Structure 1
Amino acid sequence: MKVCIAEKPSVAKEIAQVIGASTRMDGYFEGNGYQVTWTFGHFCTLYPPEDYKPHWKRWDLNTLPMLPDRFETKIMDDGGVKKQFGIIKKLLNKAALVINCGDAGQEGELIQRWVIKQASYNGEVQRLWISSLTTEAIKTGFKDLKPAEDFDNLYYAGSSRAIGDWLLGMNATRLYTLKYGGFKQVLSIGRVQTPTLAMLVNRHHEIENFQPRPYWELQTLYRDTKFNHTEGKFFTKEDGEKLLGQVKGKDLVIMDVVKKEGKEYAPKLFDLTSLQVFCNNKFGFTAEATLKLVQSLYEMKVVSYPRVDTTFLPNDMYPKIPGILKGLSAYTSFTESILGGTIRKSAKVFNDKKVTDHHAIIPTGEEKPLNGDQQKVYDIIVRRFIAVFYPDCQVA
């Protein structure tokens, strides 16, 4: 039996439907020679200090730094996690092949590898590597399963990040707490949280210590157009009045006009950060709200994988563009002119060197009913996608 392990129940369900595992069992789907099970986020965690050495349980400066000879993982102390892991372990004990269907990225690789390792599975593992959950993408992915070894470096990177976080967090938190913490006050130190907190504190200090300074500007209105003095602000009124005295009552003379022709390029496709910034500016959505919305769109199979850091597409996506555009039936007024000719292939859009785990966030060409906020996010993703295939705009 081939056992597929997805990262979420919803993803497992989509995969199971496509590969014919239609029978629902307790904790997995089965059928057509497959068993499709799932995790739900991190099932494993690195050992706490006391699991390595009992005396490390005590917070004492004399035990620092804590440097385990070898880092180990264990199942998280959660009833639901332990139950589902037990199901996964039983399936893996009888598996002829395991297919890692985790999210195609560093964290997804780490989550699934730790589970497979924790279950003591030593057989063959293959990797499903897809960027969307459409039926076509899943079928194509299963036809092109890759050896797990191809992604070892991705796993090593995720594992190194987790170990680095442990070393910094466990040691620095104890050090700062013991040296500077008050009664029962833990000073938590972390790779992400500490520099982020420092940025907030520094910005707070800047605001608190800001000293406003009055300034003056020299402006004139000519034919409903406001002109500003090119040297900007005056911090003493006398300087401004001195210049005003030199020009007041005199004619405004336009000495030179420069006219240039240029091209206005379409904005780049979205990565997660630029999407979050755009949605905050346009709709007032928080970064977390945008992430939840685009994640729901991904799970509904209408957009590609959202947790990405690139604004480019790989070259092998180019042949799929017409099919995606044709699927956007609600946007035919925009896509007809593109589909009527040869779709442009710009290096500003397609660049293999700028794509790592995933490509930019784009629509898949499938359409489903969406709620109000989902529709807002989906609409801007689609419009941005269509825009990059339009010819550059000539501006004068």
Structure 2
Amino acid sequence: MKLVLAEKPSVAQSIAKVLGATKREDGYLEGNGYVVSWCVGHLVELSQPEAYDEKYNKWAYADLPIFPDQWKYQVSASTKKQFGILKKLMARKDVESLVCATDAGREGELIFRLVYQQAGCRKPFERLWISSMEDSAIREGFEQLKPSTEYDALYEAALCRERADWLVGINATRLFSTLYGQTLNVGRVMTPTLAMVVMREAAISAFRPEPFYTVELAFQDFTASGERMKQKVLADDVARKCVGSVLNVTKAENKEKSEKPPALYDLTSLQRDANRVLGFTAQQTLDYTQSLYEKKLVTYPRTDSRYLTSDMKDMLPKLIKSLFNIFPVEDVKNVPVHAEQVINDKKVSDHHAIIPTKETLKFSLEELPKGEQAILRLIATRLFCAVGEPFRYNESVIELSDGNYIFSAKGKTIVQSGWKIFSGKPADKDKESEKQLPSLTVGEGLSVHFAEVKEGKTSPPKHFTEDTLLQSMETAGADEMPEDAERKGLGTPATRAATIEKLVRIGFLERKGDKKTKHLISTHKGTALVTVMPEQIQSPSMTADWEAKLLMIEHGEYDSNAFLEEIQDMISALVQTYEKVKGSDVLMAKEVQTVGVCPVCGSSVTERQKGFFCSKRECHFALWKNSRYFESIGKSLTSAVAQKLLSNGEVKLKGCKSAKTGRMYDAIVVMTVTEEGKPQFNMNFENGGNSK
């Protein structure tokens, strides 16, 4: 008998179906020589400092730094029952070996191994490593189970990541919280990410627009513009002298250019596009894609590769043709398939790029929630683009001179729409921007018919969106890392969304903007934290360097003990040398934020560290940030949510998640208030609901 451990119940059910383990028991399925169960995420987690010594119950500067001699783990309180089931299954005499079937990546490996260790199991186990939940992929994976030893280094890297985050998070959070008298959460990846947003907001605040002037000249068939000038008097003088004069053509070029199709999606590029095109947060995109993966409709989402392997080349034409029937593009009859463009074995490590599976062809897409439909269409469209023809166009450049200044004009005509025809709007924009210039020769003289001075102003840096912050996280510190480094940046594709969500949840960042384009803005609390934070903690390059070393540990190329010692040395130096910033009492003063009107007494409701409370002392109305109701649907009670509830009595939420099934749905949460002044929440569904 083999015990198979998956990460989630839905995945376990898919595996059990393929294996023929159809008998349902409490917390597992059994049959055909297999027992299939699940972990429900992180069953086992690192213990808190107080598990090592009771004195750590109270946060004290004198007790820092905290470095465990032997790392302690504990079973999560909410998952004790399932851990007990797994421990009994592992101890069963008829269970001879195990199969680790958690998600095929660093975190999945950690989840299984910690349960295995905590249960005291010593039985042999093998590794299931698949990139698709299709029945054929599961079947093939079980026919080619890998020895557990092949993934020992992956487990080592996962342990290092978890322990590094604990060391930095526990010590730095306690250090700055005790010094500044309020809870200031610090994280190895979280704080440098916050710092990037704070620095961007500081640059925007400090920006002062400066006027500039350009001279635009009109010739018989086109217009040409000069370079920017700071003085209007000079621009007016140039324009006046040019009217009626003859300018000589100094450059006349016409070249055909092409734009290669984009690569397939990895998780980060999918999250960026989904934010830019659909307005989804990075976490929503991950949740929707994970749900599609568990429904066997797309391949493994937490990938950092944008290519496929050579053994997939032959199946692509048929898959793409069938997908094109499901996701047709207006005025396009077929997809030219250049499969070789998306094949590169060297650029695929653990998992290939995200693409739809053959199961999509059998599935009724109307059954999917709208968010999942939109993500699936995005992934399919990117596949069409990636195997398509290049976008080709003619670019004309004309430069003219009056003897002192250069004036230029650019023209563009489309030769072949190529892959852009599948991406819709970008192709339309290119057609709108088409501009044909006349054929000229160098030395030819042209008369200026009209001259105009146009005024403009320099633009400030743009606020971060989820799209651009993900991009900055991905490239952070890249300039200081070797060119051949396999992974650069803050965090991994699998963790970046959670980092952003945590920063929003604990009040360091907030989302502001319209429905589609929301900016990520640092709060007063977030700005204050970064202001007092030493460079080494907020430095993206140092954290990116750590991320690269974790990858080296994963490949067996770097010693895990050396990595953790490096972090401990940094923390020891931080505790010993850091001095409280002068004037910080004013800087760290809590900013009182009003979020709405109290539905009980009509006073203002203000935001505090743990929730949103009525400002009138006698009134006990409160909306707690750690609301069990919102946690149960996979959401946070943020400032924006509180404002909607207080102004409208309801809030529309996309991408809610069922705690029981893991399924995604959109809903309206309605708030009512009892006679005692306690808020109660109920759920309504638009048009009968999108729950799946």
TM-score, normalization by structure 2: 0.53
C-alpha deviation, 1:331, in angstroms:
5.1
The answer as to 2:189 corresponding to 1:192 is: yes
| Bigger mean CA deviation after superposition, 243-252 or 152-161 | 243-252
Once residues 62 and 377 of structure 1 are traced to their aligned partners in structure 2, the CA distance between those partners, rounded to angstroms, is: 51
SS in 2 for 1:261: strand
User: Following superposition of structure 1 onto structure 2, how do residues 67-106 of structure 1 map, counting pairs within 5 Å?
Assistant: 67-78=67-78, 81-94=79-92, 95-106=95-106
The answer as to 2:209 corresponding to 1:212 is: yes
The answer as to 2:255 corresponding to 1:260 is: yes
Partner of 1:51: 51
Partner of 2:326: 330
Once residues 221 and 138 of structure 2 are traced to their aligned partners in structure 1, the CA distance between those partners, rounded to angstroms, is: 59
Aligned pair partner of 1:275 in 265, 270, 278: 270
Once residues 268 and 86 of structure 1 are traced to their aligned partners in structure 2, the CA distance between those partners, rounded to angstroms, is: 45
C-alpha deviation, 1:389, in angstroms:
2.6
C-alpha deviation, 1:351, in angstroms:
2.1
Question: Does the CA contact (< 8 Å) of 2:336 and 2:389 recur in 1?
Answer: no
Partner of 1:352: 345
Partner of 2:299: 304
Partner of 2:159: 159
C-alpha deviation, 1:337, in angstroms:
6.0
Partner of 2:356: 363
SS in 2 for 1:160: helix
Name the aligned partner's letter for residue 188 of structure 1.
Answer: N
C-alpha deviation, 1:260, in angstroms:
2.1
Once residues 226 and 239 of structure 1 are traced to their aligned partners in structure 2, the CA distance between those partners, rounded to angstroms, is: 20
User: Following superposition of structure 1 onto structure 2, how do residues 221-240 of structure 1 map, counting pairs within 5 Å?
Assistant: 221-222=218-219, 225-229=222-226, 231=227, 233-240=228-235
Once residues 327 and 145 of structure 1 are traced to their aligned partners in structure 2, the CA distance between those partners, rounded to angstroms, is: 31
Tell me the alpha carbon deviations over residues 131-190 of structure 1, each in whole angstroms, 9 at most, x when there is no partner: 1101111111111000111111111111100000111111111111222x22xx112111
Question: Does the CA contact (< 8 Å) of 1:313 and 1:360 recur in 2?
Answer: yes
SS in 2 for 1:84: helix
SS in 2 for 1:215: strand
Indicate the RMSD between aligned Cα atoms, in angstroms.
2.2
Structure with a larger share of its residues in strand:
2
C-alpha deviation, 1:290, in angstroms:
1.7
Partner of 1:131: 131
Partner of 2:374: 376
Aligned pair partner of 1:245 in 240, 259, 270: 240
Name the aligned partner's letter for residue 76 of structure 2.
Answer: M
Once residues 288 and 13 of structure 2 are traced to their aligned partners in structure 1, the CA distance between those partners, rounded to angstroms, is: 20
Could you tell me the percent identity over the aligned residues? 42
Cα 1:332–1:205 change in 2 (3 A) is: closer
Partner of 1:3: 3
| Bigger mean CA deviation after superposition, 17-26 or 252-261 | 252-261
Question: Does the CA contact (< 8 Å) of 1:8 and 1:41 recur in 2?
Answer: yes
Name the aligned partner's letter for residue 129 of structure 2.
Answer: W
Cα 1:212–1:9 change in 2 (3 A) is: same
Once residues 262 and 214 of structure 2 are traced to their aligned partners in structure 1, the CA distance between those partners, rounded to angstroms, is: 34
Name the aligned partner's letter for residue 380 of structure 1.
Answer: L
SS in 1 for 2:24: strand
Partner of 2:386: 388
Cα 1:18–1:252 change in 2 (3 A) is: farther
Tell me the alpha carbon deviations over residues 27-72 of structure 1, each in whole angstroms, 9 at most, x when there is no partner: 1111111111011111111121121233333322222211111212
Once residues 15 and 101 of structure 1 are traced to their aligned partners in structure 2, the CA distance between those partners, rounded to angstroms, is: 9
Name the aligned partner's letter for residue 236 of structure 1.
Answer: Q
Name the aligned partner's letter for residue 165 of structure 1.
Answer: D
Once residues 156 and 62 of structure 1 are traced to their aligned partners in structure 2, the CA distance between those partners, rounded to angstroms, is: 32
SS in 2 for 1:228: strand
SS in 2 for 1:24: strand
Cα 1:220–1:190 change in 2 (3 A) is: same
| Bigger mean CA deviation after superposition, 308-317 or 215-224 | 215-224
Q: How many residues align?
A: 384
Tell me the alpha carbon deviations over residues 293-320 of structure 1, each in whole angstroms, 9 at most, x when there is no partner: 2222112211111112221222233244
Partner of 2:316: 321
C-alpha deviation, 1:336, in angstroms:
5.8
Once residues 45 and 225 of structure 1 are traced to their aligned partners in structure 2, the CA distance between those partners, rounded to angstroms, is: 68
Cα 1:385–1:236 change in 2 (3 A) is: same
Name the aligned partner's letter for residue 220 of structure 1.
Answer: L
Once residues 73 and 63 of structure 1 are traced to their aligned partners in structure 2, the CA distance between those partners, rounded to angstroms, is: 21
Once residues 391 and 320 of structure 2 are traced to their aligned partners in structure 1, the CA distance between those partners, rounded to angstroms, is: 21
Tell me the alpha carbon deviations over residues 329-353 of structure 1, each in whole angstroms, 9 at most, x when there is no partner: 42588796657xxx5423xx22222
Once residues 322 and 140 of structure 1 are traced to their aligned partners in structure 2, the CA distance between those partners, rounded to angstroms, is: 22
Question: Does the CA contact (< 8 Å) of 1:325 and 1:335 recur in 2?
Answer: no
Once residues 114 and 15 of structure 1 are traced to their aligned partners in structure 2, the CA distance between those partners, rounded to angstroms, is: 21
Question: Does the CA contact (< 8 Å) of 1:277 and 1:287 recur in 2?
Answer: yes
SS in 2 for 1:260: strand
Partner of 2:32: 32
Once residues 26 and 322 of structure 2 are traced to their aligned partners in structure 1, the CA distance between those partners, rounded to angstroms, is: 36
SS in 1 for 2:69: coil
Once residues 355 and 254 of structure 1 are traced to their aligned partners in structure 2, the CA distance between those partners, rounded to angstroms, is: 50
Once residues 221 and 118 of structure 2 are traced to their aligned partners in structure 1, the CA distance between those partners, rounded to angstroms, is: 73
Cα 1:236–1:84 change in 2 (3 A) is: same
Once residues 216 and 224 of structure 1 are traced to their aligned partners in structure 2, the CA distance between those partners, rounded to angstroms, is: 23
The answer as to 2:279 corresponding to 1:284 is: yes
Cα 1:379–1:223 change in 2 (3 A) is: farther
SS in 2 for 1:257: strand
Tell me the alpha carbon deviations over residues 255-282 of structure 1, each in whole angstroms, 9 at most, x when there is no partner: 4322223433111101111111212222
Partner of 1:293: 288
Once residues 277 and 56 of structure 2 are traced to their aligned partners in structure 1, the CA distance between those partners, rounded to angstroms, is: 50
TM-score, normalization by structure 1: 0.90
Cα 1:72–1:316 change in 2 (3 A) is: farther
Once residues 362 and 224 of structure 1 are traced to their aligned partners in structure 2, the CA distance between those partners, rounded to angstroms, is: 47
Cα 1:313–1:152 change in 2 (3 A) is: same
Following superposition, which runs of at least 4 residues in structure 1 exceed 4 angstroms of deviation? 221-226, 251-255, 331-339
| Bigger mean CA deviation after superposition, 89-98 or 248-257 | 248-257
Question: Does the CA contact (< 8 Å) of 1:335 and 1:386 recur in 2?
Answer: no
